[in-house]
Structures are given as structure tokens and as C-alpha cells.
Amino acid sequence: MNVFIIGITGGIGGLLAQKLRSRGDTVHGLVRRDGQQAELATRGVVARVGDLSSMTVEQLAAAFGDVDVIVFSAGSNGGSKEVTTAIDGDGVVKAIEAAGRAGVERFALVSVLPESWRERDLGEEVEYYFAVKKGADIALSRSDLNWLILRPSLLLDGPGTGTVSLGPAEFHGEITRDDVAATLAELLHEPRIGRQILELNTGSTPIAEAVRANVRS
């Protein structure tokens, strides 16, 4: 499989690249600096240099090239409204259009559980982040692409457990980025899953089994 990752230098994107490479997949990505491109090359990843917020649709489509699937795992993590809009909002919409221009049908988006931290006073910028993420989910779900939206619960660092709870609706808890990346890699290798929103939380089901359970008959 030939995969292009937007957000390849992030926590989930970097782990996903490693897991896909270990499966024998070809991995491409978008980075902002030459140094990042050179570092990824040492790990067998072909990166294109560009700034998602300033690239045109045509430039992004050219960067995609002839790949099988695009993964969008970039995010502002609730930073300033300007950055959230540029990456989590306009960036996703731009990538959707660029995928269509490049003839790439499959598109996977790492989103967020809408219930995340609902018990807390999140502040205006984080509330805005959740609203923008929901708008991106809607935009992708209304596109003509063969899309997948993965909504993980609160992200943690550290080693994964290899077991999860995955389905159309899950409770909000916490999960390691490692388990999110492993689940996403498994989902990308299951062509029978498409045009679905799946929520992801820590759980007791082995990842491959959890993915197979969400294949529509």
C-alpha cells in the first residue's frame, strides 16, 4: 500500500508511519522543513516540504501524487483559533479537494470524540477546536471520497496494549497514541471498511479482531 500522511511529524502520524513501514508499505508525508525531510528519509519515508496552511489545492494534489490513501492526522490540539481554522478546518477541506484532484479515493481522518472533556470548563479556544473538528467530519462525510473518520478518546503517550474498544459509538476514556496508530494501520489494510465513523477507546479486544468486527456484511 502507498500511503500519504498529513501530520507525519506528529505523535500519531509518526507512529503510523513506523507501523506501515514495518508492514512493507510505502509511506509519504508532508513536512514544513528540509531537516524533517532529511530525517524521515533515513527511515525510508519520502516527504514533501510544504506548509498546509499556505499551499494551494493544486500544490497539495501534486504533493500527493499517485498514492492509495491519504491520512490526515495533523491538528492544532486546541491552540489559537487562527491555527485551528487553518489546520483542522480549512486544511481538511483543502486536502479533501486535493485528493479529488489527484484521483485518490480513500481518505482517513483522525478526529476527536465529541464528548471529550465535557465535564471540564475548556475555555473558548478549545471549544472552538471541537466545533471546527466536527465541521471537518461533516465536510468529509459529505464528500464523494471513500472516507473513514476515526475518533479516539483522550490521547496518552507510552506503549500501547494492543487491545481496544472500537465501534460507531464508544465511551470517552483514554487511549495511547500507539494503540491509535496500530488501529489506524489495521483499518487502512481492511478495504471493506469505508464511509464509516468509528470511535476508539481503551478496551479488551485485540486490535485486528476489533477492526474485523466493524466490517459491514
Contacts of residue 164, Cβ cutoff 8 Å, sequence gap at least 6: 175, 179, 183, 200, 201, 202, 203, 205, 207, 210
Give the up-direction half-sphere exposure of residue 170: CA atoms within 13 A in the CB hemisphere.
Answer: 26
113-120: long-range contacts, CB 8 A cutoff, minimum separation 24: 113/151, 113/152, 113/153, 113/170, 113/172, 113/199, 113/201, 114/151, 115/172, 116/153, 116/154, 116/172, 117/154, 118/172
| 129 is a catalytic site residue | yes
Going by C-alpha positions, the residue among 43, 42, 49, 54 that lies closest to residue 20 is 43
Q: Which of 128, 129, 130, 147 is catalytic?
A: 129
Longest dimension (CA), the chain: 46
Kindly list the catalytic residues: 129
